[in-house]
Structure 1
């Protein structure tokens, strides 16, 4: 269980493209946040990735 809260603001005309872009951006940011690094003392974050 992740316990994630995501606040996403949409803009544009086409609902399909807005949702597609939001899911893609969220997936990329989440992947970056969960990526393993050599420094285990820092906590990765999605802040500022969107």
Structure 2
């Protein structure tokens, strides 16, 4: 018997497929978020000084 498992990573904000997982830390706590490239760029702009 063959078994095939597929894992699809979806964007945490809009549910679209093809997202990547990014890790970030704040005050000694690490978080992970799954984002598409567009939302990743938006997050990076928001975190700029």
- Please indicate, yes or no, whether the TM-score normalized by the shorter chain is above 0.5: no
Give 1 or 2: higher strand fraction. 2
Q: State the structure with more CA Rg.
A: 2
